[in-house]
Amino acid sequence: MTKILIVVICALGCVAVVVAGKKHGFQYINLDAGWNNGEDGYGRPLFDSATFPTFIDMIRHIHANGQKVGIYLNPGISKTAVQQNLPIYGTSYHAQDVVALPITGANVFDDADKIDYTKPGAQAWWHQATGYLPITKAAYELSQAQGFYDRNPGADISIKQITLHPPTENSKGLRLGSFVLIRDVIEDELEQAISGKTAPKAALDSAVRRGNEILRRFEKANP
């Protein structure tokens, strides 16, 4: 089982946390709040050079220790980027081309605005920034036109794989609203059954009932 250590970390404590984490079998060191301060000219967060004067060296140290690093980001696009309409790196778009209208806060800290993922520019940006598949053909073609795949050879392999043959009734897939929440429900009920706290059938029935309740809420929120 993969073990993840989530830490709100200070520079001086990094080595101790990493060593202790490895001793107890943690494979991932995830940095939560406090690692960033300020943004670059594209609205992307910068690490806090006062707290982490050797941020990259810290990352290299963790890698050298045989572990991997995760960095938490708040959802949304920077409010500063939207207000100043900063360019989106590697694209012909600007922040105001992808932000959801009317402007709506994207998280409880109110430091970012929601992104409208129906816009090709937003879809292409998300695909290029995260490596996830583009959710529309338009986003793929836009990334192609922008030369993203020329600059990043191999980034389109997965796209070519899933579009290699025409889809069939069995390969089209489906959209499960609030998938992550439903997955958590299923895992919770399976744990109850495996630990003997709930009979298997009762656990599965409960997973169906709770999952359907989440789906109904999703339907109401997304008519």
What pLDDT sits at residue 149? 92
Structure tokens at 57: 């060296």
Mapped onto helix, strand or coil, the DSSP state of residue 7 is: strand
Strands 112-113 and 77-78: antiparallel
Q: What is the pLDDT of residues 160-187, one digit of tens each?
A: 888 888 888 777 777 778 888 898 999 9
Higher-confidence residue of 73 and 140: namely 140
For the chain, the average pLDDT equals 82
On the question of pLDDT at 23 being above 80, the answer is no
**Torsions phi, psi for 37 (to 5 deg):** -160, 115
pLDDT above 50 for 7: no
Whether the per-residue pLDDT at 152 is higher than 80: the answer is: yes
Question: 206: burial class by Cβ within 10 Å (0-12, 13-18, 19+)?
Answer: middle
Q: Please state, as a whole number, how many other Cβ atoms lie within 10 Å of the Cβ of residue 43.
A: 22
Predicted TM-score of the model (pTM)? 0.56
- For residue 8 the two structure tokens come to 């709100």
48 in helix, strand or coil?
Answer: coil
Q: Domain spans of the chain?
A: 4-71, 77-162, 179-221
As a whole number, mean pLDDT of residues 82-88 equals 93
Q: How confident is residue 204, by pLDDT bands cut at 50, 70 and 90? A: very high
**Collapsed DSSP state (helix, strand, coil) of residue 27:** coil
- pLDDT above 70: percentage of residues in the chain: 87
For 76, 85, 86, 89, 218, the CA distances from 41, given in Å and listed in that order, are 17, 10, 7, 9, 37
Which tokens hold the place of 194? 């495996």
Confidence of residue 22 (pLDDT cuts 50, 70, 90): low
User: According to the model, what pLDDT value does residue 12 have?
Assistant: 39
Q: What is the pLDDT of residues 24-63, one digit of tens each?
A: 667 777 777 778 888 999 888 888 888 878 888 888 888 8
